Amino acid sequence: MAKVYFYYAAMNAGKSTVLLQSSHNYRERGMRTLLFTPSIDTRYGTGRIESRIGLRSGAISLVGSDNIFARVSLEHAAQPVACVLLDEVQFLTPDQVWQLAEVADVLDIPILCYGLRTDFQGKLFPGSATLLGIADDLIELKTICFCGRKATMNLRLDQQGRAATEGAQVEIGGNERYVATCRRHFREALDGKPVPAPASFAHSASPFPRPASP
């Protein structure tokens, strides 16, 4: 029986890189994969998945009203599909996540989902919340906080480099405004303590030394 896998991580942990590498591994063996990405993610253009290290691929663009099970069923009938992979899965609706489970359960096609677990306020995205409830396997892709601990939170900064505490849950683009932190420093930042600045804020003095690359 095929499974639904949810690979989650804080921002900039290499989720898209792992997705594209997984798809490549299937295709290298002559197996067909389907790649999906929500249409709301327009950072690289519609229907594109790109990683920070330069890997890229076309993908099927999804809107909230799309039925993923119906789309995969049509594709699978035309030419067998070995695996379905989805980027930025946090933007899917709960119904679409259940449709992914139907693909695994009815069509016996494994589902590999990649995305964030929580937003800049530490709240679950609807798509991620549903996956946490129904996915067969939950796999954390790890990155580090500026203190060297595991980063689990996604801190959004304003133009002054302070932690944002209000705003829309979804903000496309502006990845340089986000910092992956551990829970402790996320909480301290929301309480007003300064945090190291991302690249676009490099002109600002940082109160913390940056750890050496592992």
Give the CATH fold of the 4-140 domain: Rossmann fold (3.40.50)
Strand partners, 150: 144
CATH 3.40.50.300 maps onto the chain at 4-140
Segment 136-169, tens digit of pLDDT = 999 999 999 988 899 999 998 877 777 887 777 7
Please report the sign of the dihedral spanned by the C-alpha atoms of residue 62, residue 125, residue 86, residue 106: negative
Q: Could you give the residue numbers annotated as active site?
A: 88
Nearest by Cα to 100 from 118, 126, 80, 127: 127
Query: How much is the pLDDT for 200?
Result: 40
Please spell the DSSP secondary structure of 14-73, one letter per residue. SHHHHHHHHHHHHHHTT--EEEEEETT--BTBTTEEE-TTS-EEE-EEE-TT--HHHHHH
Residue with tokens 């290290």: 53
Residue 213 confidence (pLDDT): 33
Residue 175 DSSP label = G
Dump pLDDT digits (tens) for 25-63.
Answer: 999 999 999 999 988 765 656 667 777 766 777 889 999
pLDDT in the model for residue 54: 66
Please give the model's pTM, rounded to 2 decimal places.
0.82
Q: Which of 4-18, 68-82, 103-117 has the lowest mean pLDDT?
A: 4-18
* Average per-residue pLDDT for the chain: 84
